[in-house]
Amino acid sequence: MTRPRTTGTLIARLRSETAEKVFDILDDDAQPDEVTKDLRSMSLVRLATFLGTTLFLQAAVSIAAAQSADFEFFKTRVEPIFLKSRPTHGRCVTCHGGGNGGAFALQALSPGSTNWTEEQSRRNFAAASRLVAPGNPTSSQLLMHPLSPEAGGDPFHSGGHQFASRDDPDWQEMAAWIRQKPPAEYTNLKVLKSPDRLMDVMRTFNISLRAECGFCHVTGDFASDARPTKVMARKMIEMTEGLNATLGNGRVTCYTCHRGDEMPRTVQPKFPDLKYPY
């Protein structure tokens, strides 16, 4: 027997063999005794193995297909936006290329090249994917950070507000990519245990402290606890939750003390030499 060369071929083969065995057992003309005999001859374990393997491989193929489509959408329709010159702003790659752009670290173009290689595109894809909430463009830092505040974007972006409106064709293109993205998997969540609206929470921190993602996170590895500011942020979240439990939900936020600054602005003036632990 020829060995299947692809996962799709294997699935088709398993489906065929499984169907044949099931239909042989449940033939309309079969007598009860014959059905019982056939069921005994073909163990339920074997049947479950056929069915389970088929379903597993089918799910794997579906996931792989979704991931492939996600990357191709990004590479052909989103990534070129980062190379585009805009009338009143520099190109995204100018500041974000070569690891100089904080959390959104695009790959530097090779000397003389006008586009990225396949490997560089995959790294750009990973960097951009960390800054979006799949299915929800308006919760995605990648879209809201460079958007004008008048259009609902963040109050600041060190590269200027690239998009004056959500109607901008490039903003819409990126939004379309985010809407079709498969769900994300987050790791090392200790205080914010639910991934629901996680990116909205991150945007709140960004605005309240007027800080980039790299203030707390390691670029390229958001799950890492290597930066002490991330460890401190967890303690501050727990403190805020405790205060709200006492004073009433929503009474205290990060902005209550930080007022748009990385360091709290509410430190008592009689402690001018107080050193922050980060």
How confident is the model over 148-178, as pLDDT tens digits? 999 999 888 877 889 999 999 999 999 999 9
Domain membership of residue 2 (yes or no) is no
Task: Copy the structure tokens of residue 195.
Answer: 């991934």
Pair 161, 231 in one domain? no
Distances (CA, A) of 96 to 112, 113, 175, 216, 242: 18, 17, 20, 18, 38
Domain membership of residue 1 (yes or no) is no
Pair 275, 193 in one domain? yes
The pLDDT assigned to 264 comes to 84
Name the domain boundary from 61, 78, 104. Answer: 61
Pair 87, 50 in one domain? no
CA dihedral 261, 148, 94, 226 (to 10 degrees): 40
Domain membership of residue 209 (yes or no) is yes
The pLDDT assigned to 119 comes to 96
Q: Is the pLDDT of residue 59 over 50?
A: no
CA distance 46 to 191: 44
Which residue range(s) make up the domain with 55?
7-61
Query: For residue 192, what pLDDT band results from cuts at 50, 70 and 90?
Result: confident
The overall average pLDDT reported for the chain is 79
Name the domain boundary from 29, 44, 61. Answer: 61
CA distance 125 to 116: 11
- Residues of the chain with pLDDT > 90, as a percent, come to 37
Pair 255, 276 in one domain? yes
CA distance 37 to 278: 73
Pair 180, 192 in one domain? no
Query: For residue 3, what pLDDT band results from cuts at 50, 70 and 90?
Result: very low
Question: For the chain, what is the domain count?
Answer: 3
